Structure 1
Amino acid sequence: MQNDIEKVLFSVSDLEKRIAELGEVITKDYEGKELIVVGILKGSNIFTSDLVRKINLPLKIDFMVVSSYGNTTESTGVVRILKDLENSVENKHLLIVEDIVDSGLTLKYLKEMLLTRNPAGIKLCTLLDKPARRKEVVHIDYLGFEVPDEFIVGYGIDYAEMYRNLPYVGVLKREVYSK
């Protein structure tokens, strides 16, 4: 697996430091509010787990499984909800946690759909943002890192369901996904 990585963008210590900073800001912003952290699976599972441990507030955690990629490197543009939230979000503050914002299609769709359920508010948190690929305008409230227009894997982010278990974020060699 390591041989498939062109370069490491963010090390374990880079990730730990930035996630602690995000947790601190989120803690201040949501003090006294009823917060539900919504992790978008599968990619955000590791980030969500580490992030909620840095938020020093009572909160609930839920997950959604959405797909717009399948086993390709490009979004299909069609967002499918494979697992929805388990509880009502009415009058609750939602923090949607995503691994990477690429085209923006998934988060735009999710935010619009969840707004119809009358939450008290929705904010977006992503570990990585790739603005060069944006097709939809999406406001990110909490951002870990901006990344270049390269194929990113590791720390929950996959290519064809592989590389999620890398403890860092790296760039996948082109020959791996061009086969």
Structure 2
Amino acid sequence: MYIIAGLGNPTREYDKTRHNVGFEAIDVLADKLGIPMTEKKHKAIYGMGMAGYQKVILSKPQTYMNLSGESIRSMADFYKVEPEHVIVICDDINLVEGQLRIRLKGSAGGHNGLKNIIQHLGTQEFPRIRVGVGEKPKEMDLADYVLGRFPKELESVMADAYVAAAEAAIMMVEDGAEKAMNYFNRKK
């Protein structure tokens, strides 16, 4: 069984912001796999279904970004899912808009959501799909940037990125993370 958690902030106020790319990718993934996102437990909105022959839980933690680990740990403990089967989809300001980067493990890289997940899981060894949201302008505050929305001209680029992130997650579950890394990390 896999948990695929897309990071973001709940409430309409944060819809379509850079920080919510994980939520957007989970919505695409749920649609692709025909999984209704109707369950509300473990401080998350989630749904269960299949990706190929693998059981998957798609999750959108509702704890706000900086406390994402609380929800993911609760779900991983309840369903007895090891960290290497917890795939996290999140934003990355170090990648150009729409670029994906898949990693099997690593530091938080300054991302507070990842930092909290590492703290709660007690390991950096869980796969993640980082979705590029572009570099923050020097004169802008980081929080203002990641809580801002994409300009109109990047909306289609990001829509394609959500589809790619969903496809990457499916490939990671069905064919292994190495294959997904080889395929998606070379693009762009």
Q: TM-score, normalization: structure 1? A: 0.40
Q: TM-score, normalization: structure 2? A: 0.38
